[in-house]
Amino acid sequence: MPPVKVCFVALTLLLMGCHDAPRKNPFDPALTPPVEVERAETDKEEGTIFLQWERYEGQQAFAEYRVLRKMQGLEAVDTVQVIRDREQLQFIDAGDLEPETDYLYWVVVVNSAGFEVGSQQVAPEPFFLPAVNLLGAEANPRSGHIVLTWSGYAGPFFESYEVWRRSFGQESRRLAEIQEVTQTTWTDTEPVPDIEYSYFLKTLAAGNSQESQTREEVLRLTEVDLLRANFSSETASAELLWTAYTGPRFEAYEVIRRTEETLEKVVGVLTNVADTTFVDSLLDGNTKYIYNISVRTRWGDEEGEIRVPSEEKSDIFYSLTEVLSLPALSGTEKVQAVGLALDEEDQMLVGATLISTTTAKVMQAGVRLLLPGGNRFRTLFVREDGRDIKPARLSPIHMAARSGIVYVAVRLDLGDCLVGAVEYGGEVLWGEIAPTGDVFPAGFYLEEDGDVALVDREALVYYFGPDGKMRTSEDDENLPDLRKGLATDEGLPIWHIVMGYGAGQQGKDQLFVLVPDREESHILFRTLTPLAGENWIIGGRGGLEAGVGLEDGQTLSPQVIAFDPFYTRLLVLEEQGRLQMFDVRENRYITKWGGYGSGEGRFIVSPPTSIAVAVDSQGRVYVADGEERVQIFEP
């Protein structure tokens, strides 16, 4: 066959074959159908989007899946993933997703010719960065810390927690950064007590910072409990007891004392936390003392010392409990001298000598006595022959009482001393004159056998029996003679004298003598050893150790001295109104109170004879002064 014929046949066969099997268009949508997105879910804790779609089943050859995403409302489209495996039908978008943002997703199928067709668009829920809840801020007074707790962060893209604190007038301060998401507690080890702090938490995630609510807390250090403050009139002291401090940074206990007139004063410092007792001594009587225990703690250079005071406790000994105004005498008379006596039943008796308030200021006749149960003074010891017995000016009046009888001694204006005995009913039993001349009476006491003894300023003792009969050591050599013993002390003339039965060592008696002009000691004492009969041996001598002056335990211008009934307490009232108490067994100062003045708890000591002091069996102290009153102080 010729070549032309062969070519023609071949062309004819080729055309015939094309007619029987036509070519498919790769861009025919029917041949590359879209896939359907079956699931579009948000993992809010991880901040991811999960997509799942059906497998491509088109006739055209598969090339790839393309996962597309765009923010709703915007035109820009991102291809977030290209998948060339026809069987991979899932994808998790963990890329740069923004919280609180709405996204649209769809899946595009691309065939081998490059034709692409997209699925429906889906809009999974957006995810959020959840806030952290600050659950609590709790102070621990034992450790001195504040502990914070919070709910753990349950969102995506965690970076860190930041603990912040602020206080009034201060900028917020970051205290800590925590990288571990599971940590939900933190302890502030450096709070300053008594400052209100506001705490909050910042949670950093996905480049964002979220702030929690605030919690306020104040570290209050635990105060100690002052359990008791026992006041003792025996020792003029306060014994304090408190609970031990259980908080942090202890440095010391400070025992703080104040009065209603004075500022706080640190009277004791204890640096051992286990030491919880303290005795504060040498306190003044009739003074309200107020105590608290302050715990001193140390908190660094800026804060320095911080103190935690306890509640206060207060008390008073020898407190003024009663003021008795002496009955009015008359509008033209005033008490010139006053005396006090207390009997064995603690009944009070008052004696007085009067002076007119006219220009002449003449001494009035007789002695006035206020007897138990009476409400007015009774004038006694007026002579029956009409010649008045007038006490001398500036003469003290001495008194003693026992078994319903009061004994009185006072110097008269014509010299000598009147000594008398009066029943409580007012009947004068006897009145005798001791021939003291111009010498003033200095002491007056009751002997154990019932005799009354008057001691003048020259130390001569006059004894009076129950019938008033008088005798002296000049009449009877067996009677005690104080003049020899006291002269060796250069203690004459004496101003005031008191006898202390059993006050000496080893049961010996002591005689206490007031000598205001003595330079080294105003209060002298001699040991008296009784002999058979009525005489004594006058032994060793001494004086109050503190000497003369205005310091506690020293005396200056003393006017009167008195014993308690047990001869263990000696009271000294001075011209400036100070009343001091001494323990004569130990020659030790105990306490003081008073001061010159007319106010309660103070004393008018002018003229010096207008005062008297007495102590009853219960330790109550009675003081009569120039205000014509008796003040009673309870131990």
DSSP letter at 522 equals: S
d(CA 342, CA 247): 55
DSSP letter at 412 equals: B
DSSP β-bridge partners for residue 132: none
d(CA 94, CA 129): 15
Cβ atoms of 197 and 206 within 8 Å: the answer is no
Cβ atoms of 416 and 407 within 8 Å: the answer is no
Answer whether 29-118 and 226-317 agree in fold: yes
Residue 137 token pair: 């801020």
d(CA 408, CA 411): 10
Q: How many CB atoms lie within 10 A of CB 185?
A: 11
Q: Determine if the peptide bond prior to 493 is cis (ω within 30°).
A: yes
pLDDT < 50 regions, the chain: 1-21
Cβ atoms of 75 and 68 within 8 Å: the answer is no
Residue 594 token pair: 């008073």
pLDDT at 5: 43
Q: Which CATH number fits domain 320-634: 3.40.50.1820, 3.30.230.70, 2.120.10.30, 3.30.1780.10?
A: 2.120.10.30
DSSP letter at 548 equals: B
Task: Report CA dihedral (17, 21, 27, 31) to the nearest 10 degrees.
Answer: -170
d(CA 613, CA 605): 12
pLDDT at 19: 46
The alpha carbons of the chain give a radius of gyration, in whole angstroms, of 54
Cβ atoms of 353 and 400 within 8 Å: the answer is no
DSSP β-bridge partners for residue 136: 149
Relative to beta strand 578-583, strand 588-594 is antiparallel
φ, ψ at 301 (rounded to 5°): -70, -45
Buried/exposed 340-370: b ≥16 CB within 10 Å, e otherwise: bbbbeeebbbbbbbbbeeeeeeebbbbbbbb
Domains of the chain by residue range: 29-118, 134-218, 226-317, 320-634
pLDDT at 303: 74
pLDDT at 8: 43
Q: Which CATH number fits domain 226-317: 3.10.450.50, 2.60.450.10, 2.60.40.10, 1.10.10.10?
A: 2.60.40.10
CATH of span 134-218: 2.60.40.10
DSSP letter at 36 equals: -
CATH of span 29-118: 2.60.40.10
Q: Is 37 helix (H, G, I), strand (E, B) or coil?
A: strand
How distant, in Å, are the alpha carbons of 32, 279, 319 from that of 260? Answer: 104, 20, 14
Cβ atoms of 405 and 424 within 8 Å: the answer is yes
Residue 426 token pair: 């007012």
Distance of CA 632 to the CA centre of its chain: 30
Relative to beta strand 185-188, strand 215-218 is unpaired
Give percent helix, percent strand, percent coil of the chain, each to the nearest 5.
5, 45, 45
